[in-house]
Amino acid sequence: MEVSNELVLSMETKLQQTLQPKRYVHTLGVAYLSASLAMCHGVSHQDALIAGLLHDCAKNYPEDTMLSECLRLNLSLSEYEQKIPELIHAPYGAYLAQTEYGILQEDILLAVRNHTLGRPNMTPIEQIVYLADYLEPGRNHPTTPVLDELRKIAFQSLDEATYLVSKNSIHYFETTGKAADPMTYQVYEYYKEKLQKGE
């Protein structure tokens, strides 16, 4: 999409008013890392910037409101998403990106929709926002000492980075005993096979 400085500024202003300061700084990190990854991987950096800016736009909404709104609007939610309220900002964020921020472009909305768990066979812009959410400069995962290595790999291969991020998430589930998310296993299997086939 055509992105002017005015549009970026108006979105940033609205997000700054809506989100907690820490979340806003994270949002800027995701937006500009998404734009940088896009430049490297032949994706529109303007689309990636907007998707990154909006990926957490629903984050301040009360979780029970988002859940009831998603159900009322008939937005598709997995069973796991319904059980883990903090994940609902992704589908609800895609809805807000459309209704509050005027984004109509399907791949940008999908990138917002799938930024938390990913999915098999993501489009490049979905992979970029999924990875940028995990790897933006402010992120520090104590369970992932290889984060800097992953940051490098994300600029070389989106598929390899997606595979490694899903692998790390599985390791996290298994070492902390947190409820495992079936989608992360699907993402892991899909990208593992894709890399093995050398596609």
> Contact 37/154 with Cβ under 8 angstroms?
yes
C-alpha span between 36 and 10 (Å, rounded): 21
Cβ-based neighbours of 67, under 8 Å, separated by 6 or more = 82, 85, 88
Instruction: Indicate the residue among 56 and 81 with the shorter CB distance to Fe ion.
Output: 56
Which residues, numbered 80-139, are part of the site for Fe ion (CB under 5 A)? 133
Of 7, 107, 22, 80, residue with least CA distance to 56: 22
Kindly state the DSSP code that residue 120 receives in the 8-state scheme. T
Restricting to residues 131-190, which ones interact with Fe ion according to CB under 5 A?
Answer: 133
Interacting stretch for Fe ion, rule CB under 5 A, among 52-60, 61-69, 152-160, 181-189? 52-60
CB nearer Fe ion, residue 57 or residue 158? 57
CB of 112 to Fe ion, least distance (A): 9
CB of 199 to Fe ion, least distance (A): 28
Query: Considering the complex, what minimum distance in angstroms separates the CB of residue 115 from Fe ion?
Result: 6
| Least spacing, CB of residue 175 vs Fe ion, in Å | 22
Q: Tell me the residue ranges of DSSP E strands in the chain.
A: none
Integer Cα distance of 181 and 82 in angstroms:
12
* Residue 19 DSSP one-character state: S
Amino acid at 138: G
In the bound state with Fe ion, the residue whose beta carbon lies nearer, of 126 and 133, is 133
Residue 56 touching Fe ion (CB under 5 A):
yes
Nearer to Fe ion, 147 or 195 (CB): 147
Q: Please tell me the distance from the alpha carbon of residue 21 to that of residue 6, in angstroms, as a whole number.
A: 22
- Decide whether 4 or 140 has the Cβ nearer to Fe ion: 140
Tokens of residue 119, six digits: 């999915």
Nearest to 135 by CA among 147, 117, 120: 147
Total of residues contacting Fe ion (CB under 5 A): 2
**Which of these segments, 8-16, 39-47, 50-58, 68-76, binds Fe ion (CB under 5 A)?**
50-58
Task: Name the one range near Fe ion by CB under 5 A: 51-59, 66-74, 137-145, 170-178.
Answer: 51-59
| Tokens describing residue 53 | 């800016």
Residues engaged in binding Fe ion (CB under 5 A): 56, 133
